[in-house]
């Protein structure tokens, strides 16, 4: 132990946007329970490359007693992160494994033929005492951590990757976004994004979607989902068209078309 500079993260100021974790080449910062955390002093080189990435000013450098920066440990740590793979569906907590395919609630179901036979979705008309319109959802499950990259409904799909909160601010969500699309949902603030990144990489590499649309909220923490999708697209399917739709908490929509890196 010796006195040296390492980062300090003010948890009260951290809004969970994840930009610092993306900027840390050593993997010293990870998003845990919606907050940025310093994983180990040994992984922090004290150079502060992450300082300028925090929009809230939650990261500073402090001089204190800390173990020395360990480059070999960093390489081993990064190798472990790179080797992480998503858990199989049957390994999810509370889901018994077996030849039937694990938890009944996460078994693959494909409704595309039924949805394709429906009439075009009508525009949203607000509350009604009549029967609600049928769901446009074409498959199950939809949680990113439960959808295997080899799911048949992902192959060549028009893929929608949606932050959990978005459907609550889009009144015509089914008519506008769901028809004819495969969808996966996740929360970049509350979920562990490391296995999500691995899952997205698998989906882009194996599913080869025809196009990808990301739905996120305007709040900064939601940008973590868009960045994870962009990284996976650029690394594993750079030719796939990508759009990012950003919805305001009360109103407003911004659409960004992200060009291919090639």
So what's the architecture of 2-83 in CATH?
2-Layer Sandwich (3.30)
What pLDDT does residue 96 have?
46
What pLDDT does residue 121 have?
52
What pLDDT does residue 130 have?
62
Q: For CATH 3.40.50, list the domain ranges present in the chain.
A: 107-114+135-258
Cα-based angle 202, 91, 206 (whole degrees, multiple of 5): 15
DSSP characters over 233-251 = HHHH-TTS-EEEEEE-SSS
Give the predicted TM-score (pTM) of the model: 0.63
Instruction: Name which of 83, 102, 107, 100 is nearest 92 in CA terms.
Output: 102
Instruction: Name which of 261, 203, 262, 257 is nearest 229 in CA terms.
Output: 203
Q: Tens of pLDDT along 144-198?
A: 998 988 888 999 999 999 999 999 999 999 999 998 999 999 999 889 888 899 8
Q: For CATH 3.30.70.20, list the domain ranges present in the chain.
A: 2-83
Residue 25 pLDDT > 90: no
Fold designation for 107-114+135-258 = Rossmann fold (3.40.50)
Cα distances (angstroms) measured from residue 143 to each of 108, 147, 160, 191, 253: 12, 6, 12, 11, 24
Residue 60 phi/psi, 5° resolution?
Answer: -135, 170
Residue 92 pLDDT > 70: no
Cα-based angle 57, 254, 261 (whole degrees, multiple of 5): 80
């Amino acid at each position: 132990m010796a006195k040296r500079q390492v980062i300090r993260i003010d948890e009260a100021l951290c809004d969970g946007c994840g930009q610092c974790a993306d900027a840390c080449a050593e993997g010293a910062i990870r998003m845990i329970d919606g907050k940025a955390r310093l994983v180990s002093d040994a992984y922090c080189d004290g150079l502060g490359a992450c300082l300028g990435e925090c929009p809230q000013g939650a990261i500073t450098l402090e001089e204190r007693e800390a173990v020395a920066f360990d480059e070999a440990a960093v390489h081993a740590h990064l190798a472990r992160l790179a080797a992480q793979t998503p858990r199989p569906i049957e390994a999810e907590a509370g889901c018994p494994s077996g030849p039937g395919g694990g938890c009944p609630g996460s078994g693959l179901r494909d409704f595309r033929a039924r949805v394709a036979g429906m009439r075009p979705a009508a525009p949203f008309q607000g509350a009604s005492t009549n029967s609600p319109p049928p769901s446009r959802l074409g498959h199950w499950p939809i949680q990113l951590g439960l959808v295997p990259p080899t799911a048949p409904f992902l192959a060549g799909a028009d893929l929608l990757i949606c932050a959990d909160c978005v459907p609550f601010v889009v009144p015509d969500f089914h008519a506008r976004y769901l028809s004819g699309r495969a969808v996966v949902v996740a929360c970049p603030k509350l979920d562990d994004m490391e296995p999500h990144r691995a899952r997205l990489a698998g989906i882009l590499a194996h599913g080869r979607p025809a196009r990808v649309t990301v739905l996120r909220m305007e709040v900064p923490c939601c940008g973590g989902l868009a960045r994870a999708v962009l990284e996976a697209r650029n690394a594993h399917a750079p030719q796939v068209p990508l759009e990012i739709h950003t919805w305001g908490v009360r109103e407003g929509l911004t659409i960004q078309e992200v060009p291919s890196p090639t």
